[in-house]
Structures are given as C-alpha cells and as structure tokens.
Structure 1
Amino acid sequence: MSEVLSKNEESIKIEKIVKFHRSFDDMNQSQREDWLKEMGDINIEHFFKANQRVFDEDGPRERSIPRRDFFLDVIKNRVKSDPLLQPKGHPVTNYLQENIVIRELCNKIQAAFDAQDFSTYNMTLMFLKELAKIHTHYLRKEDQLFPYLEKHDFTYPSTGMWKFQDEIRANLKMVTKAVEAKEVNEEMATLLKDVVQDVFDMTTREEKMLLPTAVKLLSNDEWQKMSKEEKEIGYVFIQNPPLWPEDTSKKADMASSLGAIFLQEGALSQEQLNLFFSALPFDVTFVDENDRVAFFNKGSERTFLRSPGVIGREVKFCHPPKSVDTVLKILEAFKDGSKDTAEFWITFGGRLIHIRYFALRDESKKYKGVIELTQDITDIKNIEGERRLLDWA
C-alpha cells in the first residue's frame, strides 16, 4: 500500500511541475513564489521526468530570460540530489574537475574586463581563448553522454542543452573577435558578460541536474563503456585522468579466428577492412534504414570528431539542433526516392570541407540507408597544371 501511495505522490509532484512549466508565462512573480513555497524541495527524478514530459508533449520552446533565471534558481536551490561522489577517472569526476577550471576562467575574465583598463584587453583575450577550449567539454557531452541518456528516453539534453551550448560557442567567438580588435562597445560588453555568465551557469546545470540524472539512469556497465570512449574526443583543462576502472585483463589474440569477409569482388579479413577504412582520405559514416548510426571509419585525422557512443544513436541527435531539419529533409527525400544525393561545402577551421550524402538502395530499389562522406578539399582545389612524374621531394 505504501508503494502505491509513493507512486501516486510522485505522479502528483511531476504533474505539478508540468503544469507550472506550461503556465509560467501567464503567472506573475508572486504566483511563482507561492508555487515554490507549496512545492518545497524538489526531487531530481521528479524534475527531469517533468521536463522530459513537457519536451515530449509540447516540443522545444524559446526560453525567455525570466524563465531561464527562475528555473536556474530552482536547479541551484530547490532540486535535491545525491552527492556526485565517483572514483578518479570516472566520467562524472572528469566533468566536475573540468568545471572547477571553467568557473575559475569565468571569474578571471570578468575581473579582467571589469578593470576597464586598456592593458587588461590582452589578459581578457588570453582568458577568452582559453575558455573557447570548452568546446571539447561540450563535445564529450554531445557525442558520448547524450547518446547513453537517449537510450533511457532522456532526450531533452540532446536538443535543449545542445542548442544552448551552440549559442555559447557562437557568442564566445563573437566577443573574442571584438576584444581582439579592441572594438568592445556597450552592446558587446553586455554580450561578453552574458556569455561568461552562461558558461558559468552551464556548470551548475550539469552538476545539479544533468550529471545527477545521468547517475540515476545509467548502469555501471554504461559508465565503463563511456570511460573507454572518452579518450576518442579527449579532455580539456585537466591532464589525462587515470583509467577507470583499472583494466587488468589481457586481450585475447583473436586474429587466428577471423575468417574472410566476401565482397562483390574479392574478400578481405576484418583486419584488412579496418586498415582500408582507416587509410581513406575522407570521413565515412553509415546510417541504416532506421536512421541509426551503424558505422564510421577512424582515420588518423577526422574533420569532425566521432565517438563510439554514436553507434546505434538516432542520427537526428548526432547533429547540432540548427542543422537537424536539413538532415531530416535529406533522409525524407532519400526514403521517398525523389533524391539520391546531396552535397554541401563549408569553411571549417580555415579549410574547405566537402560533405556528400548518398542514398543506398538494394536491387529492388528499397532504401537501405545513407552514407555521409566528408573530405578536406582545400589542397585538391588548389591543384593546377599536371604532375606526371613521381615527386616525393
């Protein structure tokens, strides 16, 4: 009986949070404060379940500043969760250690800029460029943590938080450029303060909501897999953390048990296939007919980083929110047979990148998936004349 009551009470709490989300914009500050008093402390599970439900049923919404600030305060002071106590090298511990440095950088930037001294421009610029490395921290979340959360139906971070992180990255580039040019007007000064505060507040969202929720949802086995995958993207602001859990097992030699894989013409061993794809001068990603990532090659220098955590992930969660609609449009056209290819070219990191999509169809023309090829064509585009002789100079 007590278990039934507990589940009923949980449903009531979640329903109250859902209703509050939906009526927030129609309430005045006094009504919002009354709701807080009525709710008291909010359990992390109630909070993330309510947020996910609103996201599933209502879709993403534009966050006003009052809404953003109010719910950030709720996350800071009202949502209760267990302490994030994990061993050294655990993915959660790695995020927490990086956050310590991130907050220190935010404080240094704000202090340097507040000094309003010309000599502090260089210092502010130095700290901003260092803070821009936060991209790696966010990338681990987007390519590794989010895919595991999606498997437990917690999909809000893959769109809502990712979109916010894209905004932070874009604004950091903008203010860094302005500081570098010593052209910081009143509007840009406000943006600088806002983006630094956004970065700082993101660490709070991680430690008070995202990571406690992840600890609740993910199994120890999932955390161990994530720990092995993290090194694919790397770390920022911290040295390579110790291996967790410590691997004392010896890898068995499987080479002798590997047979040939027969292809259209000829056959290759698994080792040969891996070497073949690793040597290709472009990135290959295969998404199956169910829109899930099934394969990507691991060349020595990929244009866009990939983590093993994306395998099995829905492709709509593998792209920044601003480009998802384009990806889905391509898939729809491939599936209905109206298109077989799509291509784009962009400037990324000062290089010209050519991105192509090819629909895969079987003998009966049934759609079986899509291949994405990404290639740095900067040097190819600059080729002129002819080279007919071997030149290794």
Structure 2
Amino acid sequence: MDVERVFHMNGGLGGNSYAQNSSLQKKASEMVKHITLKCLEETYILMSPNSLGIADLGCSCGQNALSTIREMVETIDETTHKYVNISPREYRVYLNDLSTNDFNAIFKILPDFYKQLNNERQLRGHKFDSSVYIAGYPGTFYGRLFPDKCLHFIYSSYSLHWLSKVPPGLYDMEGHSINKGSFYISKSSSPRVAKAYYDQFQEDFSLFLRSRSKEILVGGRMVLILLGRRDQNHVDRGNSFLWELLSRSFSILVSQGKVKQEKVDEYDAHFYAPSRNELEAEVKKEGSFEMDRFELFDIERKSEGCLSHGTIVARSVRAIQESMISSHFGEAILDDLFENYGKLIDEEMCIEDIRPISFIIVLRKL
C-alpha cells in the first residue's frame, strides 16, 4: 500500500474527524508544552532573528496545530516584551503534512485565528506589530521540504512514530506477510518482524535528521514528541498492546464472517515505537544534532462525559487509521470494528491499566 498516497487523519469536523477526536494528543502536548515553549524562548533569545522561521511537521487538520502556533507567537511576544523589547518583524510558520491532509480545514479557520491573535495582543498591551505568515507545506518529512538554513525552530507532535512505508522486510519472496494474524510486533511474531520494523525506523529517522540538518540554522532546535517504549522489549502493555487489541477486533469480525482471514493476514501497520537507546543511537550516528533533553511520560486514563476511556481511544485511533483500514478492507466494517475495539480496551482496563509511553526530545543543531 502506498502510505504517502493513502494515509491521512480524518478531515472535516464530523463525528469521526481528527478535529473532534484528538483530545488525547492535545492533553499530551499540554503536559509538555512548558518544555516546548521554554525551548523556543531560549532559541529566540540566542538567535534573535528579524524573521523567525517555525515549522510544524505532521500538523494534521484540527485546532491543535493552530493552538500550538498561537502559544508560540505569544511566548515570543512576551519574551521580547520582558527582555529585549524588540520583536521579530515577522513570523514565518510552515504547517507540514502529507498532501492527503485536509489543509482546507486549517485555511478556513485562519481568519478567526488572526483576529483572535491580534485581539489578545492588544489586550496584553504590546506595542509591536509583528506580522504572522502561515502557509501549508504538503509533502513527506522523510526527505527535504524547505530551502537551506531557513528555519530556527521545528516542532513535531505525534508524527514520527509513523513510518514512511510498511517495512518491506515483513514480506517473503512471494509477497506474503511473515507476520500473519498480527498488525505489529506481538508475542507470536518472529525476530524477523522486529528487525524489519527497526530497519525501516533507522532508514526513516536517519533521513529525517539529514534533511532537517540542511534546513535549520546552527543553534536552531527541534522539539519532537512521539510514541515509544520503555526498554528493548517490543511487546508491552502500551503501544504494542493497543495494536494487539485491534487485531483481536478484526478476529471478531472474521468469526462473524464479515472479514476474510486472508485480508487480515495481508495487513501490517506502518508504525514503530522506538526505545530511547535507538533514538539516541541514530542522533549520534547522523551527527548534526546534540540532544539537549529527553523525557518519558504517559497519559492517565480519561473519560469525557458519558464516553468511556475505551471509546475515546477507539475514536482517536479511528480518526488516524480509518484511511488505511478502509483502503484495504472497505468502509463497511468500520463501525463494528471500532465498537469492538472500544469494548476490548475497556475490558482490559478493568484488568490492568494500559499506559502507552511517549517521549519528548529536544535536539540542537550543531
């Protein structure tokens, strides 16, 4: 499957959209935003550019992207007001995602964004008048996106655990999956499966670092938030277990005759949760960045009104994975699949908590 052509978050503002089902990602970003904003502030004080270049890689299409940008602009406004009283003449903000992303959903709310931003600036009594220019920048971040040395700060939240493609090493000479019955690395997977995923991660993350090293200025920083794992064990009661529950959800549909087992055996995720050691090794090997900070965190379970935690997670995963699943299996199974998924998560949460691990990493360009 051509990931770059098919994969995207659900657009629009409907009940299954990413905009309506990204509260978990928003909560995680909020948990570590003090790190993100402090890093941006330090970068600006050090570099003090007249034209500040910021890129959000994997911005998706909900309010999350613009709320983060608003906080970044407010942080720099406050910094210049408190310390140097000199504002950058302009903010250049590049919102990047795959070309399949619903950029129109972002563009439609930009007028309200600019109006609210200007109102907030006036309320704070800031006298400077820096222009904010926001543009969509479609394309994969596994490769070059921007001109040389045009960026000061790069932000990416919950995007880098998505690989550029399903690892080729998951398939034999006849093109059959060697990971039948599982969508990701599971207890029943052979060591070849874990190696295939790790090899693809190494290739992708190394290319990401090489590409960004050309685009960001010396002293510029990247803040990367992504899913990961605690240690070298790929199978845990976190990210890998959520993939296992999705596989079980498909098994229910197979038993009901709604999906053929052969179709399930052919499906694999383009996802990888790296360990800290694996990330540090790639950063060191590529050599263009120094790791300033690395922290691990997880998100506590959350209910919203009458919705259970399982339902919230299932809707979030659907908003992310629907494009890939419907492309392979068709749309008819989606409601039943994710209803099963939510129930399985709730059942397992009654037995023992499921705690996906996240990392926040700060890299400085040497």
TM-score relative to the length of structure 2? 0.25
Q: Quick check: which has more Rg, 1 or 2?
A: 1
Larger proportion of helix: 1
Larger proportion of strand: 2
Q: Which fold has the larger relative contact order, with Cα–Cα distance below 8 Å and residues 6 or more apart in sequence? A: 2
TM-score relative to the length of structure 1? 0.24
